[in-house]
């Protein structure tokens, strides 16, 4: 039984040249293109033996729900970065001369190749999040994908490639196992994966914290800035406020802090934050 990454074989040296020799130039070009695609589909992939099950390390990280939120996300990102993910592509009946991959281990039909990039195809199935953002649907297993939709075909891909497409085609977000877990991976975590870099979350990113502290500390009425991992957000920012000017001055200082932090430039460094005023 073939794995998720299996593809049909092609005859060595069959580039369509002999078949197209003496034929109409358009026919020859079409045959050459077909042979090229066949070679691409026949190329070995790192997922040829993938049976579609979830990586035990990823499942262990997902189920460690007793950890504080920031430790949970740290461990989950590390497990995902070292694993593979499954992206969904729309399944189609093959009606033309070029055939795509045959049925996979789950019995799903082949699909038309749209872009020769499954992660790029998956972007057409982007998920609308409750806050209005869109995210790339990414799955830990075929079973999780089937619980979401049974009319799509599972394709295993490297996490970095799925992250690159999410950065280019969505709001730089993943939603992991939509329909069951609906877990949104923070934007900076996806951006780091896309760039092949380690993710340094804002709650332990000293350069980011120093820049935030400098900008907020320059606001009149702010006498101190401190940081901690957030409970519902990625980062919690504590603001010590000078209350000697009265409530109107405090409100003005908080409003200016909010204006500083809604700058889109923070988007790839801090996913979400909460400002926590502390009276001086």
Q: Tell me: the pLDDT tens digits for 95-146? A: 332 223 444 443 433 334 444 566 677 778 888 989 899 999 999 999 999 9
| Best-predicted range by mean pLDDT (103-107, 112-116, 235-239, 244-248) | 235-239
Nearest to 112 by CA among 86, 97, 125, 93: 93
Q: Does residue 277 register a pLDDT over 70?
A: yes
Long-range contacts for 94-100 (Cβ within 8 Å, ≥24 apart)?
97/34, 98/34, 98/37, 98/38, 99/8, 100/41
The segment(s) of the chain belonging to CATH 3.30.70.1350 are 202-279
Q: Does residue 178 register a pLDDT over 60?
A: yes
Mean pLDDT of the chain: 81
Between 5 and 178, name the one with better pLDDT.
Answer: 178
The length of the chain in residues reads 280
What is the reported pLDDT for 58?
Answer: 97
pTM of full prediction above 0.95? no
User: CB-side exposure of 243: number of CA atoms within 13 Å?
Assistant: 7
In the structure, what pLDDT confidence band is assigned to residue 39 with cuts at 50, 70 and 90? low
d(CA 219, CA 251): 12
> 202-279 domain in CATH 1.20.81.30?
no
């Amino acid at each position: 039984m073939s794995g998720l990454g299996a593809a049909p074989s092609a005859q060595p040296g069959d580039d369509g040249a002999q078949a197209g020799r003496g034929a109409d130039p358009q026919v020859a070009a079409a045959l050459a293109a077909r042979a090229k695609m066949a070679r691409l589909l026949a190329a070995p992939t790192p997922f040829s033996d993938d049976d579609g099950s979830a990586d035990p390390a990823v499942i262990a990280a997902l189920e460690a729900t007793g950890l504080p939120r920031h430790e949970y996300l740290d461990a989950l990102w590390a497990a995902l970065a070292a694993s593979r993910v499954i992206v969904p592509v729309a399944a189609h009946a093959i009606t033309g001369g070029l055939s795509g991959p045959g049925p996979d281990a789950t019995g799903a039909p082949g699909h038309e190749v749209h872009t020769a990039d499954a992660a790029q195809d998956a972007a057409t199935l982007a998920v609308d999040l409750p806050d209005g953002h869109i995210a790339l649907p990414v799955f830990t297993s075929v079973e999780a994908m089937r619980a979401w939709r049974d009319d799509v075909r599972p394709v295993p891909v490297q996490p970095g490639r799925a992250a690159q497409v999410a950065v280019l085609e969505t709001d730089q977000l993943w939603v992991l196992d939509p329909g069951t877990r609906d877990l949104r991976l923070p934007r900076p975590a996806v951006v780091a994966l896309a760039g092949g870099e380690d993710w340094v979350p804002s709650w332990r990113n000293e350069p980011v914290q120093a820049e935030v502290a400098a900008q907020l500390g320059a606001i009149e009425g702010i006498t101190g800035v401190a940081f901690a991992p957030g409970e519902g957000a990625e980062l919690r920012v504590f603001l010590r406020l000078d209350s000697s000017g009265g409530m109107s001055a405090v409100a003005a200082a908080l409003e200016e802090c909010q204006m500083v932090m809604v700058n889109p430039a923070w988007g790839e460094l801090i996913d979400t934050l909460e400002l926590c005023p502390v009276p001086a």
